[in-house]
């Protein structure tokens, strides 16, 4: 991969060791990390929380003085953070102010299929889509992004994404938004020296950029003012995998996976996160110190290179935070129930699940409401991951081995390394709709766009046999 700019000795050493790209050691951390606005809902007399979200085009200066065209939600790049509570009734008004159709999918939200924002809920230019649902899931970090058939990579890359945080009573964890509870949206770009952002999605994995932006900020620093800070990290990249370490190898506490809290914090010095996944960590700081959050090069094609992501600078005086609790108010772990139905999926090439590519008119799987199943994902080639809409799952094993402790919480997206089989205990929801499907797919967006995706419906138990396996695309 072609590198641009000055190579420091440290970066060169990293390069020589890893035999690949990266920016480590060459960053100056000159830009204050942007924190997405926390969007206040309008709350009517009915108690419903209403959020207005507009998909729109704008301009962003990733490089100072070099504005480039981007897309955003209520702004020019990315979108606001939404905070909701379990039990809330929410109503979204999604305005499409772009010149082409798109969708907005609530990744990780457990809701009726017609509200999901997948490829069947297209929003025409100029139109407004109004999904509503009751939030009924544990504390956690979900997100939103477009999901138009065959165009998700481009729409996400241009900047349509944002975070949703679910609250449900006290957790004992830092929760002051933008102060000690910081959203961290990791994305990579391919930016030329003239500031142009490449939209070249070719190759096996599509976009693997050489410049990293965090919350849309290139070369960022973050100032913190308390002794413990929670980072809610979302991999909003098209393909890149990040192996998160601090430059001084410090340990941190992992407190949540995609779908919510771990039963107890797990102390580690490295976690990995692939596109679509979230992980929450709590990091401790000493007054006046600074440390760089970095992605270490790995062996998975999609984690080539050592990248400096963010410099965190602790103020000279820090507010002292409460200790991370020994136990967290987590949901009960998702168990593989005896006699659970096992469904097998084989990932092959860049576009196939069980030998087939996505067909919008085909229902691939029919699931009884509330089912507990085991999904076995065999990947016969190179790196993929698997995201399942609407569910929560637990990773049972990876090639027969228990996953690392930091990965044992509730999840909706899992990395499946090449030539590896991953088994999941999956908990399905109870919103039934025999004609509107949810998706499961590789969240490497080029693979998703090329067809590595399937569709399932959730139906009342006992009706599986009478459900139509084709859907009409009319209307």
Which residues here bind ligand C2O, judged by CB under 6 A?
105, 107, 145, 147, 276, 387, 389, 439, 441, 443
> Which residue's CB is nearer to ligand C2O, number 68 or number 453?
453
> Which residue's CB is nearer to Cu ion, number 258 or number 306?
258
Which among ligand C2O, Cu ion, none contacts residue 276 (Cβ within 5 to 8 A by kind)? ligand C2O
Stated length of the chain: 475
User: Does position 447 bind Cu ion by CB under 5 A?
Assistant: yes
Which among Cu ion, ligand C2O, none contacts residue 120 (Cβ within 5 to 8 A by kind)? none
Residue 276 beta carbon to ligand C2O: minimum distance, rounded to whole angstroms: 5
Residue numbers 91-110 binding Cu ion by CB under 5 A:
107
Which among Cu ion, ligand C2O, none contacts residue 278 (Cβ within 5 to 8 A by kind)? none
Q: What value does the CA radius of gyration of the chain take, rounded to a whole number of Å?
A: 21
C-beta of residue 459 within 8 angstroms of C-beta of residue 432: yes
Tell me phi and psi for residue 14, to 5 degrees: -60, -40
Residue 422 beta carbon to ligand C2O: minimum distance, rounded to whole angstroms: 18
> Which residue's CB is nearer to Cu ion, number 311 or number 389?
389
* x-or-dash string of contact with Cu ion, 403-442, rule CB under 5 A: ---------------------------------------x
Q: How far apart are CA 341 and CA 445, in angstroms?
A: 29
As given in the structure block, the two tokens for residue 117 are 């924002």
Which among ligand C2O, Cu ion, none contacts residue 442 (Cβ within 5 to 8 A by kind)? Cu ion
Residue 256 beta carbon to Cu ion: minimum distance, rounded to whole angstroms: 17
Q: How far apart are CA 117 and CA 131, in angstroms?
A: 8
- Binding segment for Cu ion (CB under 5 A), chosen from 54-62, 69-77, 122-130, 446-454, is 446-454
169 Rama sector, left if φ>0, alpha if ψ -120 to 50, beta otherwise: left
Q: How far apart are CA 379 and CA 360, in angstroms?
A: 23
Which among ligand C2O, Cu ion, none contacts residue 447 (Cβ within 5 to 8 A by kind)? Cu ion
Instruction: Tell which one of 83, 240, 311, 389 touches Cu ion (CB under 5 A).
Output: 389
- Binding segment for Cu ion (CB under 5 A), chosen from 261-269, 305-313, 391-399, 444-452, is 444-452
Which among ligand C2O, Cu ion, none contacts residue 311 (Cβ within 5 to 8 A by kind)? none
Residue 152 beta carbon to ligand C2O: minimum distance, rounded to whole angstroms: 8
Which among Cu ion, ligand C2O, none contacts residue 444 (Cβ within 5 to 8 A by kind)? Cu ion
Residue 325 beta carbon to Cu ion: minimum distance, rounded to whole angstroms: 29
> Which residue's CB is nearer to ligand C2O, number 276 or number 417?
276
Burial of 389-427, coded b for 16+ CB within 10 Å and e otherwise, reads bbbbbbbbebeeeebeebbbbbbbbbbbbeebbbbbbbb
Place of tokens 């109004």: 130
Which among ligand C2O, Cu ion, none contacts residue 384 (Cβ within 5 to 8 A by kind)? Cu ion
The residues facing 187 across adjacent strands are 213
Find the residue with minimal CB distance to ligand C2O: 107
> Which residue's CB is nearer to ligand C2O, number 352 or number 441?
441
Q: How far apart are CA 340 and CA 376, in angstroms?
A: 12
C-beta of residue 429 within 8 angstroms of C-beta of residue 391: yes
Q: Tell me the CA end-to-end span of the chain in Å, nearest whole number.
A: 45
| Angle of CA points 60, 64, 67, to nearest 5° | 35
DSSP 8-state symbol, 437: -
- By CB atoms closer than 10 A (0-12, 13-18, 19+), residue 9 is exposed
Residue 453 beta carbon to ligand C2O: minimum distance, rounded to whole angstroms: 8
Which among Cu ion, ligand C2O, none contacts residue 294 (Cβ within 5 to 8 A by kind)? none
As given in the structure block, the two tokens for residue 26 are 């060459």
> Which residue's CB is nearer to ligand C2O, number 105 or number 446?
105
C-beta of residue 144 within 8 angstroms of C-beta of residue 104: yes
> Which residue's CB is nearer to ligand C2O, number 147 or number 311?
147
Residue 440 beta carbon to Cu ion: minimum distance, rounded to whole angstroms: 9
* Other beta carbons less than 10 A from residue 160's beta carbon: 27
As given in the structure block, the two tokens for residue 55 are 């998909």
Residue 336 beta carbon to ligand C2O: minimum distance, rounded to whole angstroms: 24
Q: How far apart are CA 203 and CA 301, in angstroms?
A: 12
User: Does position 11 bind Cu ion by CB under 5 A?
Assistant: no
> Which residue's CB is nearer to ligand C2O, number 228 or number 240?
240
Residue 197 beta carbon to Cu ion: minimum distance, rounded to whole angstroms: 23
Residue 388 beta carbon to ligand C2O: minimum distance, rounded to whole angstroms: 9
* x-or-dash string of contact with Cu ion, 369-388, rule CB under 5 A: ---------------x----
DSSP SS3 for 383: coil
DSSP 8-state symbol, 435: T
Which among ligand C2O, Cu ion, none contacts residue 147 (Cβ within 5 to 8 A by kind)? ligand C2O
Helix (H) or strand (E) holding 273: strand 271-273
Q: How far apart are CA 123 and CA 96, in angstroms?
A: 6
As given in the structure block, the two tokens for residue 284 are 């401790």
Binding site for Cu ion (CB under 5 A): 107, 384, 389, 442, 444, 447
């Amino acid at each position: 991969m072609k590198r641009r700019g000055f190579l420091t000795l440290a970066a060169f050493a990293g390069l020589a060791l890893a035999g690949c790209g990266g920016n480590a050691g060459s960053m100056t951390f000159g830009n204050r990390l942007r924190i997405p606005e926390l969007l206040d809902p309008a709350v009517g007399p009915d108690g419903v929380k209403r959020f207005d979200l507009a998909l729109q085009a704008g301009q962003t200066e990733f490089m100072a003085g070099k504005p480039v065209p981007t897309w955003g939600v209520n702004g020019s790049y990315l979108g606001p953070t939404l905070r909701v509570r379990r039990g809330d009734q929410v109503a979204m008004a999604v305005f499409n102010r772009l010149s082409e159709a798109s969708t907005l999918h609530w990744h990780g939200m457990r809701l009726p299929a017609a509200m999901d924002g997948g490829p069947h809920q297209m929003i025409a230019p100029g139109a407004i889509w109004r999904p509503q649902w009751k939030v009924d899931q544990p504390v956690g970090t979900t997100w939103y992004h477009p999901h138009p058939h065959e165009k998700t990579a481009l729409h996400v890359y241009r900047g349509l994404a944002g975070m949703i945080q679910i609250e449900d009573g006290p957790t004992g964890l830092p929760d002051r938004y933008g102060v000690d509870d910081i959203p961290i949206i990791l994305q990579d770009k391919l930016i030329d020296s003239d500031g142009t952002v490449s939209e070249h999605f070719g190759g096996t994995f599509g976009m693997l950029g050489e410049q990293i932006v965090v919350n849309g900020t290139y070369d960022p620093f973050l100032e913190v003012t308390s002794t413990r800070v929670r980072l809610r990290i979302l991999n909003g990249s098209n393909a890149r995998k990040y192996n998160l370490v601090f430059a001084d190898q410090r340990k941190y506490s992992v407190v949540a996976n995609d779908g919510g809290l771990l039963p107890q914090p797990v102390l580690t010095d490295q976690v990995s996160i692939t596109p679509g996944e979230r992980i929450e960590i709590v990091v401790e700081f000493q007054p006046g110190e600074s440390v760089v959050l970095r992605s270490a090069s790995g062996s998975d094609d999609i984690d080539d290179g050592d990248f400096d992501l963010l410099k965190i600078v602790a103020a000279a005086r820090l507010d002292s935070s409460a200790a991370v609790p020994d136990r967290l108010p987590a949901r009960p772990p998702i168990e593989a129930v005896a006699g659970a139905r096992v469904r097998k999926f084989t990932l092959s090439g860049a576009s196939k699940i069980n030998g087939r590519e996505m067909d919008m008119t085909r229902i691939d799987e029919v699931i009884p409401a509330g089912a507990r199943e085991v999904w076995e994902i065999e990947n016969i080639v190179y790196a993929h991951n698997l995201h399942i809409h609407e569910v929560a799952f637990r990773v049972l094993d990876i090639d027969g081995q228990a996953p690392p402790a930091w990965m044992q919480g509730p999840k909706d997206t899992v990395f499946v390394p090449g030539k590896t089989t991953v088994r999941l205990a999956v908990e399905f929801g109870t919103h039934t709709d025999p004609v509107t499907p949810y998706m499961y797919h590789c969240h490497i967006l080029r693979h998703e766009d090329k067809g590595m995706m399937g569709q399932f419906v959730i139906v009342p138990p006992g009706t599986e046999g009478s459900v139509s396996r084709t859907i009409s695309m009319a209307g």
